[in-house]
Structure 1
């Protein structure tokens, strides 16, 4: 499980859904959609420290412009380690917020030519982020 420290910048609530904008590091802001509100989860307030968690299998790796996809959460990184398997492969990326782990299909690893020292974009859909106080 990937886990990063951050703090809440903004909470937008409609009904029982909240869109939470979180700062991770100096230059990275991600958004998470949660089935809670500030009334049901008191930690959902701007300025609150938060942990952002997501599974390694929820990371999408991209070599192109992130603006061509409907994923708001992305982070530039450099491939530090590659453990190629027969079905799945594990990559460790160096990013501005720390090491991020991605698990991708081994066919994708080969098709994209992913290798050490390569620049990539790590992307995670907003509904895949878990926020923990």
Structure 2
């Protein structure tokens, strides 16, 4: 799991669901939470939370400004590629911390990914989980 520390900056709710914006360093992450400030006491502006997402949910692109719906985008550099026959684990240094991505070996080959290469790592809003201590 990838885990980054941040603070809640904005909460929009609709019925029993909230769209929560979390500031992690200079990036603003979006997360869908099946809770509201009334049902989850940790959902308060400025509360510290952990932004958590699976390695398998990190999408890799060669550039940041693609016209797609993914909201959570982190520019970074590939520090390491642990390549296996079917899957590869990428260790990526971003300006919000080190994250990992697990993608297919075929995708690594198609994108011609190399250590030291600049990329954009992206995560869908509904794949971000929040937790608090």
TM-score bucket of the superposed structures, by smaller chain: over 0.9
**Residues 85-127 of structure 1 deviation map (CA, whole Å, 9 limit, x = unaligned):** 1110000001111101000011000000111010000000000
Q: TM-score, normalised by structure 2?
A: 0.97
Contact 1:54 1:128 in 2 (8 A): yes
Distance 1:3 1:65, change over 3 A: closer
- 1:5 corresponds in structure 2 to 5
Work out the CA distance in 1 between the residues paired with 2:37 and 2:60. 33
Work out the CA distance in 1 between the residues paired with 2:29 and 2:129. 12
User: Is residue 2:21 matched to residue 1:21?
Assistant: yes
> Where do 4+ consecutive residues of structure 1 move more than 2 Å?
64-67
- 1:42 corresponds in structure 2 to 41
**Residues 40-84 of structure 1 deviation map (CA, whole Å, 9 limit, x = unaligned):** 111111100000101000000011243411011000000000001
Work out the CA distance in 1 between the residues paired with 2:102 and 2:23. 24
Aligned-pair Cα RMSD in Å: 0.8
- 1:99 corresponds in structure 2 to 98
Contact 1:66 1:74 in 2 (8 A): no
Contact 2:64 2:119 in 1 (8 A): no
Aligned length: 132
Contact 1:2 1:55 in 2 (8 A): yes
Q: TM-score, normalised by structure 1?
A: 0.97
- 1:75 corresponds in structure 2 to 74
SS for the counterpart of 1:68 is coil
Structure 1: gaps spanning 5 or more residues: none
